[in-house]
Homo-oligomer: A and B are copies of this chain.
Amino acid sequence: MNAAQKECLEACIECMKQCNQCFNDCLQEDDVKMMAECIRLDRECADICALTAKAIQSSSPLMKETAQLCAEACKACGDECAKHDHQHCKDCADACYRCEKACRELAAS
């Protein structure tokens, strides 16, 4: 595994964790309706991050294409999280943007 792959693997796993936490915390907010898109995207982004981590660890022939999709999912989720003031949304947005960057670097490598 080269440096870009290692960094992307760690970024995907951290982003998966933050998305799963944000999913849980959004469901406990007073105004759940306002968080509906965040909940939807948290789930999807966590699943795609898990898939991308597996692709990196499996020397997948589709590793770069998967990382490309993951970058888009991270951007969508990060942009939604960034609209909200909850600390879990801010933490999740940070992890999403870091993962987006690592995925784009892997895809371009």
Whether the pair A44, B36 counts as a contact (CB closer than 8 A) is no
A61: chain B residues at CB < 8 Å are 76
Work out how many copies of this chain go into the complex.
4
List the B side residues contacting A23 at CB < 8 Å.
43, 57-58
Q: How far is the CB of A3 from chain B (nearest CB, A)?
A: 17
Q: Does A13 contact B (CB under 8 A)?
A: yes
- The answer to whether A57 and B27 have CB atoms under 8 Å apart is no
CB distance from A13 to the nearest CB of B (A): 6
Q: How far is the CB of A14 from chain B (nearest CB, A)?
A: 10
Task: Please give me the residue from chain B that is nearest to A56 by CB atom.
Answer: B20
Q: Is the beta-carbon distance between A20 and B54 smaller than 8 angstroms? A: yes
26 intermolecular pairs with C-beta atoms under 8 Å apart? A9-B17, A13-B17, A17-B53, A17-B57, A20-B54, A20-B58, A23-B58, A24-B57, A24-B59, A27-B36, A27-B39, A27-B40, A28-B36, A30-B33, A32-B32, A32-B35, A33-B33, A40-B60, A44-B54, A47-B51, A47-B54, A48-B51, A61-B76, A62-B76, A66-B69, A69-B69
